Chain A
Amino acid sequence: MRDFINRTVRELPPSGIRRFFNLAAEMEDVISLGVGEPDFLTPWNIREEAIHTLEKGRTVYTANAGLMELRREIGRYLKRRYGLEYDPVTQILVTVGGSEAIDLALRAIIEPGDEVLIPEPSFVAYKPCAVMAGGRAVPVPLRGETGFKLTVSDLEPLVNERSKVLIFPYPGNPTGATMYEEDMRELCEWIRKKDLFVLSDEIYSELTYDGTHTSIASMPGMSERTLVINGFSKAFSMTGWRLGYGAGPKDLLEQMTKIHQYAIMCAPTTSQYAAVEALRGCDRAVEEMRREYNRRRRLVVESLREMGLSCNDPGGAFYVFPSIRSTGMTSEAFCQDLLKHKKIAVVPGDAFGASGEGYVRISYAYSVEQLRTALGRIREYMETRR
């Protein structure tokens, strides 16, 4: 029999997170600080709205690009929160999570051999999506010393005539790094000069603590070369609903919608109705969650520093990314050892790209009580390493 599997797919390495998950799943009584999703339940008014639409029998397909009502709400939300202006009819596409929007955009943009610049450490899906779209993934290693912010000098040595897309993931998973307006000015000028297209993954935009989130699309001359990707998972604790969206130039959205139409048809209808309610009636719930995350963030950062693990101030998302270099161990060895001796699961930094080596990702999407217990065990572990 022939080998029926596509070679590019076969050669894709499995996610390092998956490997670590298997390891942790084999053990009992593990306390995990390893999840990439909120611990809050979806606010009840959102769940209630979804139940109501199911009772009403709203169970049919929606328009390919999503319910018009939802696209209008998304348009209003982007304007209200980030000062972005998009036409809900032609410039907004509702997708199955932000992940689908990433995949669609890369498939709509990349020609074989085109290069995609991917700042790392970052979310695990960018690279495979770029490769599966026929592109070449070019990691842009970022450094803890500069707070994992992206600068022109990080990009300059890696750019060439095949460079086409820059992934711009801020606030960032796994680092919690944020890029404020002043961090982006020079960068945007350079992006325009190099004529690159930007995929701005802003899924954690609502979880920004030290300043306000600025979308790169709102910078001068950037909206025509930027796709804003966002969604409901993180801001509204709706991970399992699988709902996100892309907003950007009409031409790109038209092509993305075409792929979406053939591959997906439309995002889940129930989730779309729920999302309308999320955008209309959850400002307070979002604010409350943000404040709670912020308190936990301060607690975790302080506690890690006390035990001698240096970490940057994570300005967004719900992750802290401390350096474990002082232990002399690799990320993988540290995480395995911590799991074995203290039954605490954190994620090795190199799962998010080679430049994540020497770091671990700690999520604070847990209650203060859980965090305190887990941090206590990490402290014990660090003391045994002295």
Chain B
Amino acid sequence: MQELLEILEKNSRISVKDLAVMLDEDEAGIASQMTQLEKDKIIFGYHTMIDWDKAKIDRVTALIEVRVTPQRGEGFDNIAQRIYQFEEVTAVYLMSGAFDLTVIVEGKTMKEVALFVARRLAPIDQVLSTSTHFILKRYKDHGVVLEENKNDERMLVSP
């Protein structure tokens, strides 16, 4: 199962037939494994990696460090939930270290994101402070280097 997940993590568009051959299993088995993994939410979605800059479509991403006051009996879960419900928020992680939550927010412009923080995020009662960091350039994402020169420099034929 681990190897199946590792392959799918890198390429979710690979066919069941190819997966079966590569893993030396039968197609029906792979298909039912995948259905089960989806049902169990071990696979909780399929995404496409897009270079928005290259598509010349405006999109900014910010990593926001948030310090919050945990609530009695709820820990951080309740406050996390209040934050992740916002459509602008694409990810929320509970962190170790100097702050509590990393909140990833996407918007069309920096102003839009800044306004979201000022109007929606910062005013939440339990939020003690926020610190917003905008992503200026993505070098590598999901294990893929974005501007890699992929020329094969090997000789065409060699012993």
Q: Which chain A residues have a beta carbon within 8 Å of chain B's beta carbons?
A: 15, 17, 20-21, 24-25, 30, 32, 34-37, 39, 123-125, 173, 291, 295-296, 298-299, 302-303, 345, 347, 368, 372
Interface residues of B in 1-50 (CB under 8 A from A): 3, 7, 11, 14, 18, 21-24
Interface size for B (C-beta < 8 A) is 16
Q: A35 and B21: CB pair below 8 A? A: no
Is B156 part of the binding interface, using a Cβ–Cβ cutoff of 8 Å? yes
Given contacts A298-B21, A298-B22, contact A35 B3 (CB under 8 A): no
Chain B contacts for A123, CB-based, 8 A: 159
Q: A298 and B159: CB pair below 8 A? A: no
Which of B23, B24, B152, B159 meets A125, CB within 8 Å? B159
Question: Which of A34, A39, A173 lies at the interface centre, i.e. has the most chain B CB atoms within 10 A of its CB?
Answer: A34
Interface pairs A-B: 5 shortest CB-CB: A34-B157, A295-B22, A21-B157, A32-B156, A302-B21
**Distance of A16 from chain B, by nearest CB (Å):** 10
Describe B's contact surface by its main secondary structure: loop
Is B142 part of the binding interface, using a Cβ–Cβ cutoff of 8 Å? no
Question: Which of B3, B23, B24, B156 lies at the interface centre, i.e. has the most chain A CB atoms within 10 A of its CB?
Answer: B156
Q: How far is the CA of A302 from the CA of B15 in the complex (A)?
A: 15
**Distance of A60 from chain B, by nearest CB (Å):** 29
Encode B135-159 as 1/0 by CB contact (under 8 A) with A.
0000000000000000010111111
Known pairs A17-B158, A124-B159 / 5 extra A-B pairs, C-beta < 8 Å: A15-B159, A17-B159, A20-B157, A39-B154, A295-B23
Q: How far is the CA of A296 from the CA of B152 in the complex (A)?
A: 18
Which of A15, A20, A24, A299 meets B22, CB within 8 Å? A299
Q: A39 and B152: CB pair below 8 A? A: yes
Q: Which chain B residues have a beta carbon within 8 Å of chain A's beta carbons?
A: 3, 7, 11, 14, 18, 21-24, 152, 154-159
Q: B18 and A299: CB pair below 8 A? A: yes
Which of A39, A125, A291 meets B3, CB within 8 Å? A291
CB nearest neighbor in A for B23: A295
Q: A30 and B156: CB pair below 8 A? A: yes
**Distance of B13 from chain A, by nearest CB (Å):** 11
**Distance of A364 from chain B, by nearest CB (Å):** 12
Which of B21, B22, B156, B159 meets A345, CB within 8 Å? B156
In the assembled complex, 15 residue pairs joining A and B whose CB atoms fall closer than 8 Å, in A order, are A17-B157, A17-B159, A21-B156, A32-B156, A34-B157, A35-B154, A35-B157, A35-B158, A123-B159, A125-B159, A173-B159, A291-B3, A298-B23, A299-B22, A368-B22
Chain B contacts for A37, CB-based, 8 A: 154, 158
Q: A298 and B152: CB pair below 8 A? A: no
CB nearest neighbor in B for A99: B159
CB nearest neighbor in A for B22: A295
Which of B7, B22, B155 meets A35, CB within 8 Å? B155
Q: A345 and B24: CB pair below 8 A? A: no
Chain B contacts for A372, CB-based, 8 A: 18
Q: How far is the CA of A43 from the CA of B84 in the complex (A)?
A: 38
Q: B21 and A34: CB pair below 8 A? A: no
CB nearest neighbor in A for B150: A367
Q: A24 and B21: CB pair below 8 A? A: no
Chain A contacts for B3, CB-based, 8 A: 291
CB nearest neighbor in B for A366: B152
